[in-house]
């Protein structure tokens, strides 16, 4: 420490004032003082003679001259000439001091004496304090931490910076930089009690100093002052201008460089080091070996780049790796193994790949300029390795491609602003397809990217399974990848059916994979489409020993021999050899990852390493898939051709239709799914260019809504109707494109387009002598002059509307048929509709509402309106048919029972008319006959009253057949007809008779019967005067006369009760209760009843 501090002071003094006298800090200073005295006493000649020299020149070998002496006398303590001179002086003049000097190897006085001498010397030079900046004192001690004796001895001297015994005329202030705590340096090399003693000593030394904490945020300020100060004002202006250019970078780039808590002012202070660089440096420095500091790293970078770092360049984060990695073991113990794995991964996997990418050798690397592509790629790889070593560093945390490009700003160039990210992404995906430790996320625009440092070798596993790679497996894998990207379900069939939506309608296309060149793999018949669906045949992007032109030749021969077909062949360019290698690698990796196969192929690995290997292989699988999918897009023309395809087998037209005049284009820049979807849409667009552009899918339920609304419009004035709010969107999106009319904000106006179009077609047929028109004829007319490609439900909608507009109907074998949206057979004929007369129609509509309660129907007399009304009426009359017939019979019986002639009553007449009307309507064979029967039927003076009679028939019949009527029939009617009939019963029957005479519309019979029942029960429950019983005449037989004493007689116990107005059921329950109460007792019950009946059998 004396050499560092005391010698450092002397060296500083020589730099600022070479002629100044030196402080007396050398241990040999008393020797030279004695020698000066001897020289003065002896004279130069005798003095130098004793030293073995003379005063001229250097004298003899090993001697000293005066000049030589003075030069060595003024040298520092560690100068070899001074040490030689000091030793010879002792030998010549002071032999007894030899042993005293043996313990001082530095040549300086002790630290306490030396610091006092420095203070005296500094005061003599006019200083009021001496400040010592001891920048790397702690790191110096830490570098010798294994030598505890050395650290203990030298560490004790730290105390002398504060505590001293020698007088110091001015304060000595020591500022010690403690980059790391000395306790952090104490590792396993210090053991047991020695470790604890040493830790106590460190704590004691540290406790003597005041602490000034400098945060990480101070590093930019320190670097600005110590490393980055401009040489001149002009230099500052140049740097300011360059930084202003950097400020104009894209916001997303600047955001990464600034980090979350940085700003432009901070960036300017550390320029050309970005805040992101500084944060990474600070984090990395915490795991470096003891002698490595952030400032030294920055300085080393500037030194290394002094020949190529131009104004305007930024030092990229990736460049840190090389400087940090210099030396045998640059990182501390906890990261040594991780760093070794990173270095091995770089040297064995990444660097060979980069050399191959740029087609250079290792010997050429040193001469490459910084702007060379290899250098840029190398910086990216090293940024990834650095992120793996210090993953929690802010700028390196969760690296994305965009962030990675920004951290290495300027390494990649693109003619398109922001295109650097795409360039870098392609490189990363290509690397990850070979290096499983490199993981690129699934996001197609800005995925995450990371390197996993595991040290597990997966290449051996892949090599052991290499035999599964063959042409068949490669074809199966490509087929699966392509179909997945197309969005086509793979059923492992030669021809697959793909369902999709086109212009709002469901469509289907056949899809097949095969080698078009090979007539065995794809015979001629397999190239032809079947039915109305298109067929898409997809070829493979490889065919060893052949080229895509052979596929094209086969198709030319087929066209010449077979003509047109609704078939299109997708002929891809071939994969490059590198991509085919990666394809084979993916085949192997996917095979290994299936089930437990890794246990077999990786049985040379430990269980833990196999688990790690599975993760690495899964990442490799993901990367290979991403690479292969990119190659697939290039091969099939979805992306512009690049390195993934073989340029020697170029092909311009990937899509080869087997139909003349059809031109197809692969949409460049789309996904594979979009490209395939675009292809089938192009095919249908070319086949049916006039197909309506439905905005929604034409589902049957929505077509039914459209049909209901357009049929309403058929009979509306001017074809104009108000459409309910919830139906307007459907009408706008389906009815309008179909040409049925215009849907405005609220009203819909029906169009005559299809009525005119189909009427002209029918007219042409009749001009040609055709007398019948079938649905099939009309379907063909819809597609004339060019096919629309409508599905049958949309055609059915048009044809039903046309029939309604023209007053026609559909017939099959002479009978009427009502087709629907879902079904309309082509054999149906269109005929003039059989409609009821206008008079019958108008009367029937009125009676439908009055008699049967069927709401007002469309007043238009057309097949649909007639059928709709007939359907609603048939439901009503079928339900009323039974009750209406029963009503006539029951009314007749009840009326005769009370003495009425049914035929003379209004109620019975209306019941009879209603039953007849229901029966005639219900028995009709068709809708027209039903309407006629209703319009011509007899309803008397009031259809509404007939309707009430029919509607209440069931209720009336029930009221006339229940127990209430039975009471009337068994009690009231007989009593009213008896010779001694009382007036009350006569009145009951009279009122009931009057209710039966009147119609149900005026008097409901059920309440009238209930009232008569109650009155009858009340009458039979009214008490009567009991008969007078004469007492027996005395003196009769058995009478002993007055005063005679006869035998005692038991008097009976009599229980009496009375209940009035009981029904038969209640009376029966009362008797059952009496029997239960008295059990087997000898009882007698007096019953009194009276039955009046015309049936003698009940007497």
**Do 719 and 633 reside in the same domain of the chain?**
no
pLDDT digits (tens, 9 = 90+) for 681-690: 999 999 999 9
Shortest CA distance to 635 belongs to which of 698, 688, 595, 582?
582
State which residues of the chain have pLDDT below 70: 26, 53-62, 77-78, 83, 87, 90-91, 94-107, 139, 142-146, 148, 179-208, 214-217, 286-292, 327-335, 412-418, 669, 856-858, 979-982, 1021-1084, 1086-1099
Domain termination site, one of 832, 862, 879: 832
Q: Which ranges in 408-512 belong to alpha helices (H)?
A: 420-432, 459-464, 471-486
Shortest CA distance to 65 belongs to which of 87, 39, 29?
39
Q: Is residue 1029 part of a domain?
A: no
On whether the CB atoms of residues 937 and 916 are closer than 8 A, the answer is yes
**C-alpha 345, offset from chain centre:** 35
C-alpha distances in Å from residue 60, one per residue of 49, 64, 65, 71, 1054: 11, 8, 9, 17, 177
Domain termination site, one of 430, 455, 480: 455
Q: Is residue 1076 part of a domain?
A: no
**Do 543 and 479 reside in the same domain of the chain?**
yes
Q: 3-state DSSP call for residue 133?
A: strand
The residue behind tokens 């009981």 is 1062
**Do 869 and 758 reside in the same domain of the chain?**
no
Q: How far apart (Å, rounded) are the C-alpha atoms in residues 1000 and 1007? A: 11
Q: Is residue 695 part of a domain?
A: no
Structure tokens at 947: 């309707």
**Do 52 and 191 reside in the same domain of the chain?**
yes
pLDDT digits (tens, 9 = 90+) for 644-676: 898 877 777 889 999 988 888 887 767 899 999
**Do 793 and 652 reside in the same domain of the chain?**
no
**Do 179 and 252 reside in the same domain of the chain?**
no
CB-count burial class (<10 Å; 0-12, 13-18, 19+) for 519: middle
What does the pLDDT read at residue 5? 85
What is the count of structural domains for the chain? Answer: 5
Q: Is residue 171 part of a domain?
A: yes
Q: Is residue 1074 part of a domain?
A: no
On whether the CB atoms of residues 876 and 854 are closer than 8 A, the answer is yes
φ and ψ at 943, to 5 degrees? -65, -30
Q: How far apart (Å, rounded) are the C-alpha atoms in residues 643 and 421? A: 18
What does the pLDDT read at residue 838? 83
DSSP 8-state assignment for residue 26: B
Q: How far apart (Å, rounded) are the C-alpha atoms in residues 717 and 715? A: 7
Q: Contacts by 1090-1095 with C-beta closer than 8 Å and gap 24+?
A: 1092/974, 1092/975, 1092/978, 1093/970, 1093/974, 1094/974
What does the pLDDT read at residue 851? 83
Burial 795-834, CB ≥16 within 10 A → b, else e: bbbbbbbbbbbbebbbbeeeebbebebeebeeebbbeebe
Structure tokens at 340: 């070794």
Residues in the chain: 1099
Q: Which residues contact 127 (CB under 8 A, 6 or more apart)?
A: 170
Structure tokens at 650: 């170029």
Structure tokens at 964: 């209430």
**Do 406 and 543 reside in the same domain of the chain?**
no
**Do 278 and 298 reside in the same domain of the chain?**
yes
**Do 885 and 937 reside in the same domain of the chain?**
yes
Q: Is residue 1040 part of a domain?
A: no
On whether the CB atoms of residues 845 and 859 are closer than 8 A, the answer is yes
**Do 144 and 223 reside in the same domain of the chain?**
no
What does the pLDDT read at residue 133? 87
- CA contacts within 13 A on the Cβ side of 900: 24
Structure tokens at 891: 């009314």
Q: How far apart (Å, rounded) are the C-alpha atoms in residues 1063 and 1057? A: 17
Cis peptide before 758 (omega within 30 of 0): no
Q: Is residue 442 part of a domain?
A: yes
Q: Which residues contact 84 (CB under 8 A, 6 or more apart)?
A: 72
Structure tokens at 451: 């390197």
C-alpha distances in Å from residue 177, one per residue of 187, 282, 480, 580: 22, 16, 64, 59
Q: For 332, left (φ over 0), alpha (ψ -120 to 50), or beta?
A: beta
Q: Please provide the average confidence, as pLDDT, over all residues in the chain.
A: 81
Q: How far apart (Å, rounded) are the C-alpha atoms in residues 712 and 701? A: 17
Q: Is residue 1042 part of a domain?
A: no
Structure tokens at 498: 């793909």
Domain termination site, one of 626, 654, 687: 687
508: which strand partners? 499
On whether the CB atoms of residues 1017 and 972 are closer than 8 A, the answer is no
Q: For 62, left (φ over 0), alpha (ψ -120 to 50), or beta?
A: left
**Do 526 and 422 reside in the same domain of the chain?**
no
What does the pLDDT read at residue 903? 87
What does the pLDDT read at residue 1013? 87
Structure tokens at 896: 């005769």
741: which strand partners? 750
**Do 516 and 616 reside in the same domain of the chain?**
yes
On whether the CB atoms of residues 634 and 641 are closer than 8 A, the answer is yes
Q: Which domain holds residue 1002?
A: 851-1020
Shortest CA distance to 508 belongs to which of 431, 465, 444, 566?
566
What does the pLDDT read at residue 433? 84
């Amino acid at each position: 420490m004396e050499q560092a501090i005391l010698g450092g002071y002397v060296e500083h003094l020589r730099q600022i004032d070479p002629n100044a006298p030196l402080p007396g800090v050398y241990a040999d200073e008393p020797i030279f003082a004695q020698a000066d005295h001897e020289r003065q006493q002896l004279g130069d000649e005798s003095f130098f003679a004793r030293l073995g020299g003379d005063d001229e020149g250097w004298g003899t070998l090993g001697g000293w001259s005066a000049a030589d002496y003075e030069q060595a006398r003024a040298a520092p303590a560690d100068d070899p000439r001074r040490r030689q001179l000091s030793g010879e002086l002792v030998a010549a003049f002071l032999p007894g001091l030899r042993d005293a000097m043996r313990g001082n190897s530095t040549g300086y006085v002790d630290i306490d004496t030396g610091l006092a001498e420095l203070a005296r010397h500094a005061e003599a030079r006019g200083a009021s304090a001496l400040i010592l900046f001891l920048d790397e004192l702690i790191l110096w001690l830490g570098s010798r931490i294994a030598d505890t004796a050395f650290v203990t001895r030298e560490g004790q001297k730290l105390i002398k910076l504060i505590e001293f015994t020698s007088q110091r005329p001015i304060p000595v202030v020591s500022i010690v930089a403690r980059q790391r705590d000395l306790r952090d340096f104490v590792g396993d090399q210090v053991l047991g009690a020695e470790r604890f003693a040493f830790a106590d000593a460190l704590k004691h030394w540290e406790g003597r100093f005041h602490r000034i904490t400098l945060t990480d945020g101070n590093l930019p300020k320190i670097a600005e002052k110590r490393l980055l100060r401009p040489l001149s004002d002009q230099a500052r202006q140049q740097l300011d201008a360059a930084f202003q250019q950097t400020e104009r970078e894209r916001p997303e780039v600047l955001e990464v460089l600034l980090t979350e808590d940085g700003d432009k002012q901070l960036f300017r202070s550390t320029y050309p080091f970005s805040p992101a660089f500084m944060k990474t440096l600070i984090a990395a420095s915490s795991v470096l070996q003891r002698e490595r500091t952030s400032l030294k790293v920055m300085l080393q970078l500037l030194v290394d780049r002094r020949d190529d770092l131009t104004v305007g360049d930024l030092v990229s984060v990736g460049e840190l790796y090389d400087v940090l990695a210099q030396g045998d073991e640059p990182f501390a113990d906890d990261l040594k193994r991780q760093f070794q794995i990173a270095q091995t991964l770089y040297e064995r996997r990444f660097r060979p790949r980069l050399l191959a990418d740029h087609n250079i050798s290792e010997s050429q690397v040193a001469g490459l300029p910084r702007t060379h592509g290899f250098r840029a790629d190398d910086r990216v790889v090293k940024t990834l390795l650095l992120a793996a070593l210090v993953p929690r560093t802010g700028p390196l945390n969760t690296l994305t491609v965009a962030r990675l490009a920004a951290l290495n700003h300027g390494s990649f160039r693109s003619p398109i602003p922001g295109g650097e990210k795409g360039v870098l992404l392609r490189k990363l995906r290509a690397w990850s397809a070979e290096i499983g430790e490199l993981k690129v996320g699934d996001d197609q625009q800005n995925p995450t990217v990371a390197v996993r440092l595991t040290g597990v070798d997966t290449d051996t596993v892949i090599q052991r399974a290499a035999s599964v790679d063959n042409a068949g497996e490669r074809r199966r894998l490509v087929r699966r990848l392509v179909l997945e990207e197309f969005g086509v379900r793979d059923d492992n069939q030669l021809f697959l059916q793909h369902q999709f939506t086109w212009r709002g309608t469901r469509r289907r296309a056949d899809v097949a994979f095969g080698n078009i060149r090979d007539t065995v793999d794809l015979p001629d018949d397999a190239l032809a489409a079947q039915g109305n669906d298109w067929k898409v045949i997809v070829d493979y992007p490889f065919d060893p020993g052949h080229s895509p032109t052979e596929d094209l030749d086969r198709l030319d021969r087929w066209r010449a021999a077979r003509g047109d077909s609704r078939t299109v062949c997708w002929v891809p360019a071939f994969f490059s050899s590198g991509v085919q290698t990666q394809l084979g690698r993916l085949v192997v990796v996917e095979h290994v990852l299936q089930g437990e196969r890794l246990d077999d192929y990786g049985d040379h690995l430990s269980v833990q390493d196999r688990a790690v290997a599975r993760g690495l292989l899964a990442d490799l699988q993901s990367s290979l898939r991403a690479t292969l999918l990119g190659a697939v897009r290039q091969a099939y023309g979805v992306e512009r051709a690049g390195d993934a395809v073989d340029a020697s087998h170029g092909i311009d037209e990937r899509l080869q239709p087997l139909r003349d005049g059809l031109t197809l284009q692969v949409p460049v820049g789309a996904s594979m799914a979009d490209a395939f979807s675009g292809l089938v849409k192009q095919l249908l667009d070319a086949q049916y260019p006039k197909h309506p552009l439905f905005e929604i899918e034409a589902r049957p339920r929505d077509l039914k809504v459209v049909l209901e609304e357009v049929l309403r419009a058929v009979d509306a004035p001017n074809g104009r109707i108000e459409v309910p709010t919830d139906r307007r969107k459907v009408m706008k999106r389906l009815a309008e494109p179909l040409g049925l009319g215009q849907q405005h904000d609220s009203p819909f106006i029906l169009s005559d387009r299809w009525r005119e179009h189909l009427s002209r077609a029918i007219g042409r047929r009749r001009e040609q002598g055709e007398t019948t028109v079938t649905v099939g004829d009309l379907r063909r007319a819809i597609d004339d002059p060019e096919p629309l490609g409508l599905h049958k439900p949309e055609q059915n909608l048009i044809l039903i509307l046309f029939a309604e507009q023209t007053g026609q109907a559909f017939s099959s074998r002479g009978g009427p048929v009502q087709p629907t949206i879902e079904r309309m057979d082509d054999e149906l004929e269109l005929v003039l509709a059989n409609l009821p007369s206008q008079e019958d129609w108008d009367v029937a509509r009125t009676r439908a509402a009055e008699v049967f309660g069927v709401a007002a129907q469309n007043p238009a007399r057309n097949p649909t309106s007639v059928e709709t009304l007939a359907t609603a009426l048939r439901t009503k009359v079928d339900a009323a048919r039974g009750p209406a017939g029963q009503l006539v019979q029951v009314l007749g019986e009840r009326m005769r029972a009370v003495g009425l002639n049914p035929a003379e009553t209004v109620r019975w007449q209306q019941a009879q008319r209603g039953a007849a009307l229901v029966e005639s309507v219900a028995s009709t064979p068709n809708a027209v006959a039903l309407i006629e029967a209703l319009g011509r039927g007899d309803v008397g003076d009031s259809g509404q009253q007939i309707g009430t009679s029919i509607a209440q028939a069931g209720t009336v019949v029930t009221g006339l057949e229940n127990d209430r009527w039975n009471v009337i029939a068994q009690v009231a009617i007989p009593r009213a007809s008896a010779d001694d009939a009382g007036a009350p019963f006569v009145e009951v029957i009279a009122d009931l008779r009057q209710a039966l005479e009147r119609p149900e519309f005026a008097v409901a019979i059920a309440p009238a019967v209930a009232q008569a029942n109650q009155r009858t029960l009340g009458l039979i429950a009214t008490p009567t005067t009991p008969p007078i019983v004469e007492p027996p005449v005395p003196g009769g037989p058995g009478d002993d006369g007055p005063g005679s004493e006869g035998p005692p007689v038991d008097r009976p116990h009599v229980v009496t009760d009375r209940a009035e107005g009981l029904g038969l059921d209640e009376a029966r329950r009362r008797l059952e209760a009496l029997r239960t109460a008295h059990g087997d007792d000898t009882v007698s019950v007096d019953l009194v009843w009276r039955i009046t009946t015309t049936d003698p059998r009940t007497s």
